[in-house]
Amino acid sequence: MLAKIKNDLIDLSKPLDISIPLRGEATNVNAWYVEHPTISAHEEDNYIGSVSAGASTNFNDIRFNPHAHGTHTECVGHITKEFNSVNQSLNRYFFLAEVITIAPEKYQDDFVISRKQLQYALGNKKREALVVRTLPNLREKLSRQYSNTNPPYFLEQAAEFLVAAGINHLLVDLPSVDKEKDSGALLAHRAFWNVDGKMRKKATITEFVFVPNKVKDGKYYLNLQMAPFENDASPSRPVLYRIED
């Protein structure tokens, strides 16, 4: 089914899901030193919420942390003393997006994404959203255990460039845009949301996406779907649509 956005056509029957599903298993992708998520039948008195155990329905309890256990979208409330809800921040769901692929470069003892790399990949394109796929892009990203591995991250100047370029929604296949252990500096988060100036409360960061290799770099429409949690972050399901010729 074709739909028209401005002057572009997209085929709604051909979604490209770039989210990582949440599983109640130890092999679920994980970060930030927490236990894996669990999905189990609710138990109370003599009741077990499982059809296989004799209940009329399956009735599961789910325990997870949106930041640690899969694709999630977060707002400035992730780093502010004041409560800011991502459910209130994100009130549009379709955005013109660019997918780019970057091999993080060596910087001191780390691997990072720099301003220069983003400038080269994005150029002067005007986009509302940017999806960054990092190399190597292996399916191991779907189950990687990131704690204490010092994954690649964005330099502060890279985040500042994205703000200047008009990017309001940043999606990355990393557990964070910042260094795993930075003593709470969170320089890229702070720069992207401009917390020391006019705060960008409508801007979002989506982490833990997975962009399959079959998805080519270029222009897409992004449908940023999110569970309506009143929280700084929520599980999300970003979906890309190719622009039809």
CATH classification code of 2-22+67-242: 3.50.30.50
Predicted confidence (pLDDT) per residue in 79-133, tens digit: 999 999 999 999 999 999 999 999 999 999 999 999 999 999 999 999 999 999 9
Predicted confidence (pLDDT) per residue in 189-210, tens digit: 999 999 999 999 999 999 999 9
Place of tokens 């100047």: 157
Cα–Cα distance for residue pair 120/63, rounded to 1 Å: 41
Strand partners, 177: none
Q: What is the pLDDT at residue 103?
A: 98
Q: How many helices (H) and strands (E) does the chain have?
A: 4, 17
pTM of the model: 0.97
